[in-house]
Amino acid sequence: MTSDKKTLIAGATGQIGSSVGEYLSRAGGWNPIGLARTPDLEADYPMIAIDLTNPEDCLSKLSGITDITHILYAARFDHYGGELESKDINVAMLKNLIDAVEPYAKNLQHVHLVHGTKFYGHTIAKRSVPYREEDACGNYNSFYFEQQSLIEQRQRNKNWSWSISRPHAFCNYRTDEPRNLILVVAIYATIMRELGLPLTFPGTPVSYMAKTQFSWLPTLAHAAAWMMREPQCANQAYNVVNGDPKSWSQLWPLFAEYFDMKIGEPVSSSFAQFASDKASIWRSITEKYNLIHTELLEIAQWPYGDYVLSVQWDVISDMTKIQRDGFNERVDSENMWLRGFDYFRAQRIIP
């Protein structure tokens, strides 16, 4: 690995942006520079405060950094829970960044975009699984299709290349990220157990039986770095998931066993509805078990949990292409979940 890379990470404070930034900074040679409106002042690499919706801000802060070699694009404009993100704003953000960097960075080598399975339209229609990278886009209202078209068009006849990762629900062990599925389930189970209730699944029987998948963020960070590095990844998209699709009906008994609870049937409810009147119970649990003080509606984003649980049909990405091209890291999802519960116990978030 040469040490003359300089890598812009757009969305450096986000879930994947911070994981990639941390990884590239530790790996050495990538010389990351983070971009976000509110930079992380604790990060161990430099960050620039920038508003990607503002073309002048981008030009004035980036066009002078002429030795940028790589861009890792993991920015996404503000959105909450599972609703569809704005296509126009997200496409404009990528365009503003490319306009401010590409004409000036004479040694630009690669642009990587972090996208996801919304490309296949997994939220709007059942289609044959596993999803393959060459499948037609299944949701033209998501910003992924237009960002991909933009980057393909901008790359034409240029010396640099692009790649795209298509992960699914991000999982990581962090206490400062409320969009955190493992934490949602851990707190839900803790409260249900304290109330003497079985671990019911707050969703429909259909969602309980459908297969879904997860992306362990450290592995996604490794995969993104691999794509930015390897010539065979030039101008390619890759699915990046743990590789062991599971139904909630397979995971739920494991969770019940971990928390030493009886398992309940699916109930047509939701995490958001559940959490709406449990703030005081949660406060008393944190006091009773001497946990770190946390507010129930702040520590975890409950509607996000509902979005991930509400799978209507099998959502499975094919991992043949990435494996064929040389990336072989796989994650055992069951172990990922259980070690996550261990982590939140060790952090004194749950008893």
Ligand X SMILES: NC(=O)c1ccc[n+]([C@@H]2O[C@H](COP(=O)([O-])OP(=O)(O)OC[C@H]3O[C@@H](n4cnc5c(N)ncnc54)[C@H](OP(=O)(O)O)[C@@H]3O)[C@@H](O)[C@H]2O)c1
Alpha-carbon distance 46 to 33, whole Å? 5
Among 21, 32, 116, 245, binds ligand X (CB under 6 A): 116
Among 36, 129, 164, 299, binds ligand X (CB under 6 A): 36
Binding flag, residue 53, ligand X (CB under 6 A): yes
In terms of phi and psi (left: phi > 0; alpha: psi -120 to 50; beta: otherwise), the region of 206 is alpha
Q: DSSP secondary-structure letter at 13?
A: T
Torsion angle of C-alpha atoms 11, 113, 155, 90, degrees rounded to 10: -60
Closest CA to 122 of 130, 113, 110: 130
Compare residues 7 and 286 and give the one whose CB is closer to ligand X.
7
Site for ligand X in 63-92 (CB under 6 A): 74-77
Compare residues 154 and 283 and give the one whose CB is closer to ligand X.
154
Binding region for ligand X (CB under 6 A) out of 10-18, 253-261, 274-282, 323-331: 10-18
Among 6, 7, 8, 13, binds ligand X (CB under 6 A): 13
Site for ligand X in 204-233 (CB under 6 A): none
Q: Give me the residue label for tokens 């649980």.
A: 309
> What is the closest distance, in whole angstroms, from the C-beta atom of residue 77 to ligand X in the complex?
5
Query: What would the two tokens of residue 231 be?
Result: 């010539």
Closest CA to 93 of 76, 118, 116: 76
Q: Which residue minimizes CB distance to ligand X? A: 14
> Are the CB atoms for 233 and 70 separated by under 8 Å?
no
Q: Where are the alpha helices (DSSP H) in the chain?
A: 15-27, 55-62, 87-101, 143-155, 181-194, 205-209, 217-229, 248-258, 271-275, 279-288, 296-299, 302-309, 320-324, 333-346
The number of residues that bind ligand X (CB under 6 A) is 28
Binding flag, residue 11, ligand X (CB under 6 A): yes
Binding flag, residue 17, ligand X (CB under 6 A): yes
Helix (H) or strand (E) holding 264: strand 263-266
> Are the CB atoms for 12 and 43 separated by under 8 Å?
yes
Site for ligand X in 147-186 (CB under 6 A): 167-170, 179
> What is the closest distance, in whole angstroms, from the C-beta atom of residue 247 to ligand X in the complex?
19
> What is the closest distance, in whole angstroms, from the C-beta atom of residue 265 to ligand X in the complex?
27
Compare residues 181 and 261 and give the one whose CB is closer to ligand X.
181
Binding flag, residue 16, ligand X (CB under 6 A): yes
Query: What would the two tokens of residue 11 be?
Result: 């969305």
Query: What would the two tokens of residue 3 be?
Result: 């040490």
Compare residues 5 and 179 and give the one whose CB is closer to ligand X.
179
Which residues would be at the binding site for ligand X (CB under 6 A)? 11-17, 35-38, 50-53, 74-77, 93, 114-116, 167-170, 179
